[in-house]
Amino acid sequence: MTTSGEPASSQAPAPSGEALALEVEDLWVRLGGHEILRGVSFSVAAGSLTGLIGENGAGKTTLLRAVLGLLPISSGEVRVARGHLGRRSIGYVPQKVVLDPDLPVRARDLVELGADGRRLGIPMRSNAKRVFVDQLLQAVDASHLADARVGALSGGEQQRVLIAHALASLPRLLLLDEPLASLDPRSTQETADLLGRIASERKVGVLLSTHDINPLLPVMDRVVYLAAGRAVSGRTEEVVRSDVLSALYRHHVDVFHAHGRVLVSVGEEQSEQGCELDPDDCTDPEKPSGENVAGGPSPAAAVAGPGQQ
Amino acid sequence: MSVLHAIFQPGLFSNSSVQDAAVLGAVVALVCAPVGVFTVVRGQSFAGHAFADVTATGGSAAFLLGVSPLLGFVVMALAGASATELLGAERQRGRDLVTGVVLGAGLGLSALLLYLTTTTQSTTGAAVTVLFGSIFAVSTSTLPLVIGFGASALFLVGLVYRPLLLSSINPDLASAQGLGRRVVGLAYMVALALSVALSALTIGAILSTALLIGPAAAALRLAKSPGRAIAWAALIGVAATWAGIVLAYDSYNWPPAQQGWPVSFFVVSLVLAAYLLAQLTGRRARRA
């Protein structure tokens, strides 16, 4: 019996770590006459990291923007845990943020705007604010960058400051759109590890999109695999399997394991690897994937590694 | 001492035109500082210049109607701000359209208005006043109006300071916080229109963006934080305006005609000098 008020249940009530930061149920999003998301369902637990995996054009950005409330939802439901003061608060790091080197904005200023960017009036200096910002910068290993211009930082450094900015509103849910793209291999792994640490230490549900699953393997609790607007979710070993992904893509997909790495070979002209090597080759969002292509794994897919140098 | 005497000539500080000009110049430079910094950060110098062009039409119309040119400047600048929002001139394609069609028409219209002014009235120098400004000719009665418009612009920018800063740094970060771009953008546009109008009154419609953009662009080289950038822009703007006024007063003794050189020439040159200096020191500071 699992009635709500039962006092002596053998199963302890879900600890706060098991609370959900995000629940997406049968989400459909239609843009410009095309179904971009076709009934996507998954959840992200507080304190866990979920990877949103898919090729360019699979609908990753659309999904994140729909969760943020920046896109209209055709049907379905998105539930986000209430954050600080009951406000719906989501930390968001957009894709490819370009920060001009001439911006008169220090890392510290950008993080501060994450906390009070909505407020009206001129900001006043305070010691409490300074300590708060310092703590956030420390949490992302960027204390030494506090007084540097954000535009002058390297890609990996900017990414860390943007993560601190997104955390400054004390969100229960942190969304990141391709945070690992265009970072060098070392920064890629450092950023992935940092996000795993932030999820568990700050009890934030982290959902990040990426087209390369490998840097996330050590830190990822769950995966949402997206293809042509449909998704499967679960633990990595449950999802990243030939049979599951073949069912998702609706044609044969190979999954290779080698040296602790995963290579997903989508038997399509525009394979995942093709996307990584040349994003211009990738499927358009409106182009139905899986139905139009026959044939086995393309030679490029078989040869190329999963986007690693 | 004699050098000081040569620069600050007798009668400079007691001259009421000079006093009014100093107040006007300081107010305008102070208003232009924050608005200019945001304009440069947002990359909207174009909008500033567009407003400047259409303010020329407003100033010319004001001369023809015999009302204060400031009113003409303000009305047309605000109309320009609305038109910019409507035509979507923030987008690249919209910009091309606005540049080619609307601004040309605005300046053409002001040519007609100035022609009508000079043929129907005995006023001379309307064209020079509208296009290149004449800070000494601004009457004392205009000053409260200048301060009122300036305070409004400062109030607007102060009100939306943080949302505006965030959306200027990156629009996606602002929308992630649920900030509507429209309202903040509109408040900024109105503040920009008011600043351009005030600047047009000081150094002329054509040159008005120099006082708006120049000190801000120099400040961006010198300051690391937004607050300090605004402070630097204010300092450079006020210094250039006041020094321009002093030099213009001196130039009444200069050749060829002993009539005084245009103030705008000095102000704009000093702003340029400040920018170049900031460029040099800023580069050295960054290398260190």
Structure tokens at B165: 């800063």
Name residue A264's beta-bridge partners: A255
Q: What is the pLDDT of residue A275?
A: 42
Nearest residue in chain B measured CA to CA from A97: B170
User: Three-state secondary structure along chain B?
Assistant: CHHHHHHCCCCCCCCHHHHHHHHHHHHHHHHHHHHHHHHHHHCCHHHHHHHHHHHHHHHHHHHHHCCCHHHHHHHHHHHHHHHHHHHCCCCHHHHHHHHHHHHHHHHHHHHHHHHHHHHHCCCCCHHHHHHHCCHHHCCHHHHHHHHHHHHHHHHHHHHCHHHHHHHHHCHHHHHHCCCCHHHHHHHHHHHHHHHHHHHHHHHCCCCHHHHHHHHHHHHHHHCCCHHHHHHHHHHHHHHHHHHHHHHHHHHHHCCCCCCCCCHHHHHHHHHHHHHHHHHHHHHHHHHC
Q: Answer whether residue A276 shows pLDDT above 60.
A: no
Q: Which residues of A touch B175 (CB under 8 A)?
A: 70
* Distance to chain B for A167, nearest Cα, Å: 12
Closest among A205, A216, A206, A201 to A135, alpha carbons compared: A201
Distances (CA, A) of A247 to A222, A251, B222, B282: 19, 7, 58, 59
Residues 6+ apart with CB under 8 A from B218: B232, B233, B236, B271, B274, B275, B277, B278, B279
User: Three-state secondary structure along chain A?
Assistant: CCCCCCCCCCCCCCCHHHCEEEEEEEEEEEECCEEEEEEEEEEEECCCEEEEECCCCCCHHHHHHHHHCCCCCCEEEEEECECHHHCECEEEECCCCCCCCCCCCEHHHHHHHHHHCCCCCCCCCCHHHHHHHHHHHHHCCCHHHCCCEHHHCCHHHHHHHHHHHHHCCCCCEEEECCCCCCCCHHHHHHHHHHHHHHHHHHCCEEEEEECCCHHHCCCCCEEEEEECCEEEEECHHHHCCHHHHHHHHCCCEEEEEECCEEEEEECCCCCHHHHHHCHHHCCCCCCCCCCCCCCCCCHHHHHCCCCCC
pLDDT band at A84 (very low <50, low <70, confident <90, very high): low
Closest among B279, B229, B33, B230 to A104, alpha carbons compared: B229
Give the residue, A232 or B178, on which the prediction is more confident: A232
Q: What is the pLDDT of residue B284?
A: 58
Rounded CA separation B87/B74 (Å): 20
pLDDT band at B89 (very low <50, low <70, confident <90, very high): low
Residue ranges and CATH numbers for the domains of chain B are: 2-287 (1.10.3470.10)
Q: What is the pLDDT of residue B60?
A: 84
Q: Answer whether residue B12 shows pLDDT above 50.
A: yes
Nearest residue in chain B measured CA to CA from A177: B172
Largest CA distance in chain A: 64
Nearest residue in chain A measured CA to CA from B179: A118
Domain A16-89+170-303, CATH homologous superfamily name and number: P-loop containing nucleotide triphosphate hydrolases (3.40.50.300)
A123 and chain B in contact, CB less than 8 A? yes
Structure tokens at A116: 């009070």
Cα angle B117-B98-B202, degrees, rounded to a multiple of 5:
45
pLDDT band at A1 (very low <50, low <70, confident <90, very high): very low
Q: What is the pLDDT of residue A284?
A: 44
Nearest residue in chain B measured CA to CA from A152: B286
pLDDT band at B147 (very low <50, low <70, confident <90, very high): very high
Predicted confidence (pLDDT) per residue in A102-113, tens digit = 899 999 999 999
Q: What is the pLDDT of residue A207?
A: 95
Contact A104 B163 (CB under 8 A): no
Range with top average pLDDT, A121-130, B131-140, B245-254: A121-130
Give the residue, A237 or B150, on which the prediction is more confident: B150
For chain B, give the percent of residues with pLDDT over 70: 89
- HSE-up (13 A, CA, CB side) for residue B276: 6
Residues 6+ apart with CB under 8 A from B224: A104, A106, A147, A148, A149
Contact B224 A147 (CB under 8 A): yes
* Domain residue extents for chain A: 16-89+170-303
Range with top average pLDDT, A7-21, A118-132, A261-275: A118-132
Give the residue, A66 or B86, on which the prediction is more confident: A66
Q: What is the pLDDT of residue B148?
A: 93
Contact A105 B226 (CB under 8 A): yes
Name residue A30's beta-bridge partners: A35
Give the residue, B235 or B183, on which the prediction is more confident: B235
Q: Which residues of B touch A103 (CB under 8 A)?
A: 41, 169, 220
Rounded CA separation A125/B274 (Å): 29
Give the residue, A182 or B234, on which the prediction is more confident: B234
Closest among B116, B122, B134 to B62, alpha carbons compared: B116
Cβ neighbours of B2 (radius 10 Å): 6
B226 and chain A in contact, CB less than 8 A? yes
Q: At what angle do helices B45-65 and B69-87 cross, to 10 degrees?
A: 140
Nearest residue in chain B measured CA to CA from A116: B162
B164 and chain A in contact, CB less than 8 A? no
Q: Mean per-residue pLDDT for B237-241?
A: 94
Distances (CA, A) of B245 to B18, B20, B24, B175: 7, 11, 11, 44
A151 and chain B in contact, CB less than 8 A? no
For chain A, give the percent of residues with pLDDT over 70: 78
Q: What is the pLDDT of residue A101?
A: 87
Q: Please give the mean pLDDT across all residues of chain A.
A: 79
Q: Which of B114-123, B171-180, B217-226 has the lowest mean pLDDT?
A: B114-123
A68 and chain B in contact, CB less than 8 A? yes
Contact B163 A149 (CB under 8 A): no
Q: What is the pLDDT of residue B122?
A: 62
Q: What is the pLDDT of residue B206?
A: 77
Contact A94 B224 (CB under 8 A): no
Contact A103 B176 (CB under 8 A): no
B 174-193: CB under 8 A from A: 174-179
Q: Answer whether residue B143 shows pLDDT above 60.
A: yes
Out of A91, A123, A149, the one facing B162 most closely (by C-beta) is: A123
B219 and chain A in contact, CB less than 8 A? yes
Predicted confidence (pLDDT) per residue in A280-297, tens digit = 444 444 444 433 333 333
Closest among A203, A198, A207, A192 to A137, alpha carbons compared: A198
Rounded CA separation A293/A296 (Å): 9
Give the residue, B237 or B104, on which the prediction is more confident: B237
The set of long-range contacts for A31-37, using a CB threshold of 8 Å and a minimum separation of 24, is A31/A62, A31/A71, A31/A285, A32/A286, A34/A285, A34/A286, A35/A74, A35/A229, A36/A62, A36/A229, A36/A285, A37/A62, A37/A63, A37/A66, A37/A229
Q: Mean per-residue pLDDT for B138-148?
A: 86
Mutation target for B interface from A65, A80, A100: give the one with most B CBs within 10 A: A100
Q: Mean per-residue pLDDT for B201-216?
A: 86
Predicted confidence (pLDDT) per residue in B13-72, tens digit = 778 788 888 899 999 999 999 999 999 998 888 878 888 888 888 888 888 888 888 888
φ, ψ of residue A207 in degrees (nearest 5): -125, 115
Q: Which of A181-195, A245-259, A266-280, B170-184 has the lowest mean pLDDT?
A: A266-280
Contact A123 B161 (CB under 8 A): yes
Q: What is the pLDDT of residue B87?
A: 67
Q: Answer whether residue A183 shows pLDDT above 90.
A: no
pLDDT band at B200 (very low <50, low <70, confident <90, very high): confident
Predicted confidence (pLDDT) per residue in A208-218, tens digit = 999 888 888 88
Contact B229 A110 (CB under 8 A): no
B31 and chain A in contact, CB less than 8 A? no
* Distance to chain A for B288, nearest Cα, Å: 13
Q: Which of A171-175, B80-84, B108-112, B186-190 has the lowest mean pLDDT?
A: B80-84
Contact A121 B159 (CB under 8 A): yes
Contact A94 B174 (CB under 8 A): no
